[in-house]
Chain A
Amino acid sequence: MSILIAVTTLAVIAILFGILLGFSAVKFHVDGDPVVDKIDAILPQTQCGQCTYPGCRPYAEAIISGEANINQCPPGGETTMLALAELLGVEPLALDVEHANEPEKTVVYIDEQTCIGCTLCIQACPVDAILGAAKQMHTIIESECTGCDLCIPPCPVDCIYIRPVKVEPDTWRWSLPESAQNAPRV
């Protein structure tokens, strides 16, 4: 008799917890992997594909699956790599590319005299920063351009050029003093 009570009690408890778990699985369901979102938030969103993945989010997913390293993002440079190392709790790695220093920010511009209006660059732009229509002149919306340079290879007349972003007094930055080489690190 007593064994029956024990079994029933356990069964009831199991059912109750089952319901609770089932309920919370629905109620607190998380779509996708939140860590991917966090990584994606750190990445510079140039969508340039220099990491060998087709955009920032695919790269974030590749990092999570262990497929990619954290040092494959040239536009993000050292800052992004360090932020990723911090987020994921892994050792910082040396950057993949030669220019390990902070990359210069660039945008592209279209030589409007040469442009034939083929729309190939518009199709290549990951952030819709190129304005134009078939057989009409195209132009770059500079404030939207991320400097990914993906529009350059498809251009059949080579009329897209890279330009550094102009530094204004508002965006100008103080440099470290010359004596900073001797400064301590924390």
Chain B
Amino acid sequence: MTRTSNQLWHFHGGLKLDSHKAMSTASPIVKAKLPTRLVLPVQQHIGKAGVILVKVGDRVLKGQVLAECNEYVSAPVHAPSSGRIVDIDELPAPHPSGLNTLCIVIETDGEDKWAERQPIQQPASKSPAELRQLIRNAGIVGLGGAAFPTAVKTNPGPQAHIETLIINGAECEPYISCDDMLMREFAEELISGCDIIQYMVSASHCLIAVEDNKPQAIAALEAIIKSQALQNIEVVSIPTLYPSGGEKQLIKILTHKEVPSDGLPSEVGLLVQNVGTAVAVHNAIILGEPLISRIVTVTGEGVLQPQNMEVLVGTPMSELIEQSGGYHDDASKLIMGGPMMGFTLQSDQLPVIKGCNCLLVENTPQQTPANMPCIRCGACATVCPAQLLPQQLYWMASSKNFDLVQDYHLFDCIECGCCAQVCPSQIPLVQYYRFAKTEIWNQERDRIKSDHARVRHDFRQARIEREQKERAEKLRKKKELLEKKKLAEAAEKEAGNVAEVDPKKAAIEAAMKRVQAKKAAQQASSDE
């Protein structure tokens, strides 16, 4: 697609929200202090967990691979700083479940010494597949929050033809400003990263979409594009409306195309990547540095100095809060992500992971759910950006009607939280959808497991049957043989020529003779 006009389109619904972004964009990005202890969950991405390559006591260098991936949808984990592995254990990690997961713990030595890096000055000298492998080895995952392995996403398959690369700098969720600050301060790296991805998927055009409440970011990007006289990269200012940063919503705004319900953007010739991911791609290829740090917004009314920080993956969240002035006295809730889609954390003693874009400290007193019944007002359906019927989904999910809820396209729900935001009864709608989704996945797992058990059971039954048959057959044959022998003997007897020498008896006699001879020989030798 080449944009012939500057026309933009609208997605269905959406909400205008107070942005609260200014509180964290006043000061430039601060580099967080090197922590003494880095905790790295092996699984920080969608897909399979990596396989650990190190053991307790090992010394590691910055950028060294700690866990490699041997599945397609997976990503390796690297050491964010040099030091010693002190622990490999199940430790708490940021996840809505609050469950422990396998983590590698590094005690840093303060030297921050790099392992060998292999920068590539001319990405075009490599094939797209080689670049994809480098991105895979660098452990890059989508930094918008979902953490899907980038190497997988940039490989849409031989059938797909990517026309346009869309770089997502919309950052529509309130409070979060890490992408805004990244675009302001790393505009050049961002453009370079776009270039590499564009080359990799051979997209003819690249659009960087930024909401119009980030004029400085837009200006910074445009300045770079102008100074480098780039023809096929364009910054598009889009209206501020939540959730314009949703992948399908952004595609609708920019191209008026609809991504099929269970399809991917590549089916309509598009690829969407987050701005942070593009910078990470630049770092991986041009600098040869794996993904070991990211920009995190530390913000909210509950923190004293809201700011954006460049943070090593694995840094404890408590240290970031501390370096941002600490908590307000009335701070009540720590959220990873934004107020709409984030989830509450049980503690601040958790590590920053690749998908952690924001730490939001709220000071609003924890309110109990209003617990009012649904009045069927339909406000949720009006704002739903996926054009679903949230109240129907809510009724079906609450009555555990999981077939019907899928017929109403539950899995198209992006969990943006617009419906819950406008609900006059303050029903926590998204939690109902998350409940239904995880229940359905669980049923699917059970089904696979029971199919597997059926196959094994059937196989066992068949084996037992076969063994019984074989045993019966053996027995029958033995009997037959015995009978034959008996018959033969009887026949011989009848014929009158009974063997004069029984072979068995002859053998025994021969043996006895041998023993006697031996004894005689022994006696003879002892007599001498």
Q: Give A residues with C-beta under 8 Å from B.
A: 40, 43-47, 55-56, 79, 126-129, 144, 146, 167-169, 171-180, 182-186
The 9 closest A-B pairs by CB, nearest first: A183-B398, A172-B97, A45-B450, A45-B453, A173-B438, A174-B434, A185-B399, A127-B456, A179-B371
Taking a contact as CB atoms under 8 Å apart, the answer to whether A174 and B453 are in contact is no
Question: 27 A-B pairs, CB-CB below 8 angstroms?
Answer: A43-B450, A44-B446, A44-B450, A45-B449, A47-B453, A55-B457, A79-B443, A127-B456, A129-B456, A146-B450, A168-B101, A169-B43, A169-B99, A171-B442, A174-B96, A175-B435, A176-B435, A177-B428, A177-B431, A177-B432, A182-B373, A183-B398, A183-B399, A183-B432, A184-B395, A186-B395, A186-B396
Number of interface residues of B (CB under 8 A): 41
How many Å from the CB of B338 to the closest CB on chain A? Answer: 19
Q: What's the count of A-B pairs with C-beta under 8 Å?
A: 102
Taking a contact as CB atoms under 8 Å apart, the answer to whether A45 and B428 are in contact is no
| Cβ contacts under 8 Å, A47 to chain B | 453, 457
Taking a contact as CB atoms under 8 Å apart, the answer to whether A183 and B395 are in contact is yes
How many Å from the CB of A43 to the closest CB on chain B? Answer: 7
Taking a contact as CB atoms under 8 Å apart, the answer to whether A184 and B399 are in contact is yes
Taking a contact as CB atoms under 8 Å apart, the answer to whether A179 and B428 are in contact is yes
Is B95 positioned at the interface, with any CB of A under 8 Å from its CB? yes
DSSP majority for the B interface?
helix
How many Å from the CB of A24 to the closest CB on chain B? Answer: 29
| Cβ contacts under 8 Å, B434 to chain A | 174
**Interface members, chain B 365-382 (any A CB < 8 Å):** 369, 371, 373-374
Is B451 positioned at the interface, with any CB of A under 8 Å from its CB? yes
| Cβ contacts under 8 Å, A171 to chain B | 442, 445
Please name the residue on chain B nearest to A168 by beta carbon.
B99
**11 more A-B contacts (CB under 8 A) besides A172-B99, A174-B431, A177-B431?**
A167-B99, A169-B99, A174-B438, A176-B398, A176-B431, A177-B428, A179-B428, A182-B373, A183-B374, A183-B398, A186-B404
Given contacts A168-B101, A177-B431, contact A45 B451 (CB under 8 A): yes
| Cβ contacts under 8 Å, A127 to chain B | 453, 456-457, 460
Which interface residue of A175, A182, A183, A185 has the most chain B CB atoms within 10 A?
A: A183
Taking a contact as CB atoms under 8 Å apart, the answer to whether A186 and B401 are in contact is yes
Is B439 positioned at the interface, with any CB of A under 8 Å from its CB? yes
Is B427 positioned at the interface, with any CB of A under 8 Å from its CB? yes
Taking a contact as CB atoms under 8 Å apart, the answer to whether A185 and B97 are in contact is no
Taking a contact as CB atoms under 8 Å apart, the answer to whether B453 and A146 are in contact is yes
CA distance A126 to B454 in the complex (A): 10
Is B394 positioned at the interface, with any CB of A under 8 Å from its CB? yes
CA distance A56 to B450 in the complex (A): 11
**Interface members, chain B 449-465 (any A CB < 8 Å):** 449-454, 456-457, 459-460
| Cβ contacts under 8 Å, A185 to chain B | 395, 398-399
Taking a contact as CB atoms under 8 Å apart, the answer to whether A45 and B399 are in contact is no
Taking a contact as CB atoms under 8 Å apart, the answer to whether B427 and A179 are in contact is yes
| Cβ contacts under 8 Å, A182 to chain B | 371, 373
How many Å from the CB of B517 to the closest CB on chain A? Answer: 43
**Interface members, chain B 84-114 (any A CB < 8 Å):** 93, 95-97, 99, 101
CA distance A98 to B384 in the complex (A): 42
CA distance A46 to B446 in the complex (A): 11
CA distance A44 to B452 in the complex (A): 10
CA distance A158 to B399 in the complex (A): 42
Taking a contact as CB atoms under 8 Å apart, the answer to whether B373 and A174 are in contact is no
Taking a contact as CB atoms under 8 Å apart, the answer to whether A169 and B369 are in contact is no
Taking a contact as CB atoms under 8 Å apart, the answer to whether A126 and B398 are in contact is no
Please name the residue on chain A nearest to B447 by beta carbon.
A41
| Cβ contacts under 8 Å, B99 to chain A | 167-169, 172
Cβ proximity bits B458-501 to A, threshold 8 Å, 1 near / 0 not? 01100000000000000000000000000000000000000000
How many Å from the CB of A157 to the closest CB on chain B? Answer: 24
How many Å from the CB of B44 to the closest CB on chain A? Answer: 11
CA distance A102 to B431 in the complex (A): 20
